[in-house]
A and B are shown apart, each in its own frame.
Chain A
Amino acid sequence: MVEFYNQLHPVVQGVLKGLAVIMVIFPLGGVCSMAERKVSAWIQGRPGPNRAIVPWAAWIPVLGPFLQRLGLFHVMADGGKMLFKEDPLPGHVNKFYFVLAPIVAMIPALTTVTAVPFGAYLDEAGRVIPLGLANVDIGLLAVFAVSSLGVYSLILAGWASNSKYPFLGGVRASAQLISYELSMTLSVIPVFMWINAPGRESTMGLGRVVEFQSGAWEGFTSASWGGLWFVFVMPVSAFIFITALFAETNRQPFDMPESEADLVGGFHTEYGAFKWGLFFVAEYAHMIVGSGVFTLLFFGGWNPLPWIPLAKLVAWLGVSSPILVGILSITIFLAKVLFLIFFFMWVRWTVPRFRYDQVMEIGWKKLLPLAIANLLFYAFEIGALQTAQPWWVHAAIGVATLLALVFVVMRPEQKLAA
């Protein structure tokens, strides 16, 4: 099996790998939509969808009813409904762009996966090799560059629909993305400053970030920094990143582009059936990839716990087969990603939707100064650590950053002149 795969043409190998990943992402998107319904229901004190079942599953004694209660067959029912219901094409839309928009939504959502490693295995020398579609050097930059293209689908959908509310949704989507993209990018720079030295190779690679977080406990020395995940080393970065991620993926409380309360359905008001479904699979794919990037950057990737890297766990369990190690690492990684997706849904029912002006204010007046202060703090701090400055230098950097932040962000509200 493995030999047969290895003798294939590299292009065929690539296509197979890509298809395999899409075959995971697509159903995962569907399952996420069901998880969304179930989590919503549970938080609201309801059992959620739990009726649909196919006959052959009903024959399985315990598992069948359990899956029924979990609403698993509703996923198929929903998907089937999406596929077979009438696909309306309103008369007043620009047909070419109207059809193009959901396709444009899917492409970046599925393309970003290529640069995200999702697991690892150990080679004969015991080195950890990341598993991914393409281990590109620019890593995170590729993810950012391609995932930002996703907003074009919302703008296209809003504009091609040729009606008010979708248009407003599209405009909001573009404004929101630009506002939060800045903070998001600034928030991850400290991570890469921390792990890299000038002249290294693959400095923006995501595999490298996880490699850095795979250290073991070395006592209270500077070597132990490596095992600590970045969410503990840089909590502010992680906070900014996840906030911006909510905004980028159009999740509540930042779902301005489709806020049902004021824009009917936002950019997808005129859409129905499968085209509408594609937008949602794309949204969930964005969430999955975004959570994956967050896991890699701040949650230690495929390492089970801080200071317990994958290699150590594998040594304890005594597994040596690369395939088993790969499955183990992917399981750990997916568990973290799924937890983050649950967190997305949890926040959805906790924080009410911001008003549009609040979204802009949080983005530009709160998050961006915070991201810049965070960046400057870590820039000076990393410099101070590397040149082994005395403690008061660190204290001075911290105090200066806090003061600057209080001055910029926490000024009393200024009334705008009419």
Chain B
Amino acid sequence: MAIIPLERKPLTFVERTYVPNIMAGLKTTWKHFVRPKETMEYPEERPAIPPNYRGVPTLVKDPNGREKCVSCQLCEFVCPPKAIRITPGEIPPDAPNGHVERAPQAFDIDMLRCIYCGMCEEVCPEEAIFLQQQYSMTGYTREEMVNNKARLYELGGTLPDEHFKWDKKKAAEEHGNDRH
């Protein structure tokens, strides 16, 4: 790399008095003084959250109100900080969703452990767990910071579904594959 010697010019008389530069500086700070402020005043103003934001992990239901999680426990296995704890359960065969067979009995996500990596969302074969736009989790006790199943569904709500996998399976069982 070529070395370019820069000649440092000696300061002129006016520059050595400091005064013009201080005046220029005062002008700059004055501009900042009158300019609108940058601060977002948080609790009143909220930042715009982009749709692909990785917030608090939640469980979602499909548009028919069916809980999508089938307690396969893949998220529990993949979770790097071991924040997810699932107790698998079964759906009785005579229930409306009996053909799904399995649903979590308990589903806890410890938000004191969660690192918001999104691997649970990535691994989920049922598209049941999503990191949504909720970014602020607070609580006064450790217990409050563990989201149980009810809370996870409350946070998650219902997301649109493209596949209706289990409905199709049920339809195929009943009518054969020619329905599609």
Contacts and interface: CB of A to CB of B under 8 A. Distances in A.
B39 A47 contact: yes
Nearest to B32: A43
Nearest to B35: A45
Contacts of B32: 42-45
A45 B29 contact: no
Nearest to A45: B38
B26 interface: yes
Contacts of B35: 45
Contact of A47 (B26, B33, B41): B41
Contact of B33 (A239, A346, A410): A346
A39 B22 contact: no
Contacts of B30: 346
Interface of B is mostly: helix
A39 B26 CA distance: 13
Most chain B CB within 10 A, of A43, A47, A350, A406, is at: A350
B91 to A, nearest CB: 51
A57 interface: no
Contact of A45 (B16, B26, B39, B41): B39
Interface in A346-382: 346-347, 349-351
Nearest to B27: A350
Interface string A401-418: 000001000100000000
Given A410-B13, A410-B16, A42 B26 contact: no
B111 to A, nearest CB: 27
A200 interface: no
B25 interface: yes
A395 B162 CA distance: 92
B37 interface: yes
B45 to A, nearest CB: 11
A42 B37 contact: yes
A42 B38 CA distance: 10
Contacts of A346: 26, 29-30, 33
A46 interface: yes
Interface in A35-62: 39, 42-47
A133 to B, nearest CB: 34
Contact of B22 (A43, A45, A351): A351
Contacts of B33: 39, 42-43, 346
| Interface residue range, chain B | 10 to 19
Contacts of A39: 33
A336 to B, nearest CB: 18
B28 interface: yes
Most chain A CB within 10 A, of B25, B33, B37, is at: B33
B25 to A, nearest CB: 4
Contacts of A44: 32
Nearest to A39: B33
Interface in B2-27: 13, 16, 19, 22, 25-26
B9 to A, nearest CB: 14
A335 B68 CA distance: 69
Interface string B37-72: 111010000000000000000000000000000000
B37 A46 contact: yes
A44 B13 CA distance: 32
Nearest to B30: A346
B52 to A, nearest CB: 29
Nearest to A406: B13
Nearest to A352: B25
A198 B30 CA distance: 45
Most chain A CB within 10 A, of B13, B28, B39, is at: B39
Contacts of A46: 37-39
B37 A43 contact: no
A8 B70 CA distance: 92
Nearest to A342: B33
A350 to B, nearest CB: 4
A249 B11 CA distance: 30
Contact of B25 (A42, A351, A406): A351
Contacts of B22: 347, 350-351
Interface in A1-54: 39, 42-47
Interface in A289-347: 346-347
Nearest to B25: A350
Interface in A200-226: none
Contacts of B28: 350
Given A44-B32, A45-B32, A410-B16, A350 B41 contact: no
29 contacts: A39-B33, A42-B32, A42-B33, A42-B37, A43-B29, A43-B32, A43-B33, A44-B32, A45-B32, A45-B35, A45-B37, A45-B38, A46-B37, A46-B38, A47-B37, A47-B39, A47-B41, A346-B26, A346-B29, A346-B33, A347-B22, A347-B26, A349-B29, A350-B25, A350-B28, A351-B22, A351-B25, A406-B13, A410-B16
Given A46-B38, A410-B13, 14 more contacts: A42-B37, A43-B33, A45-B32, A45-B35, A45-B38, A46-B37, A47-B39, A47-B41, A346-B33, A347-B26, A350-B25, A350-B29, A351-B25, A406-B13
Interface of B: 13, 16, 19, 22, 25-26, 28-30, 32-33, 35, 37-39, 41
Interface of A: 39, 42-47, 239, 346-347, 349-351, 406, 410
Q: Which 9 A-B pairs have the closest CB atoms?
A: A350-B25, A45-B38, A350-B29, A46-B39, A47-B37, A43-B33, A43-B29, A43-B32, A42-B33
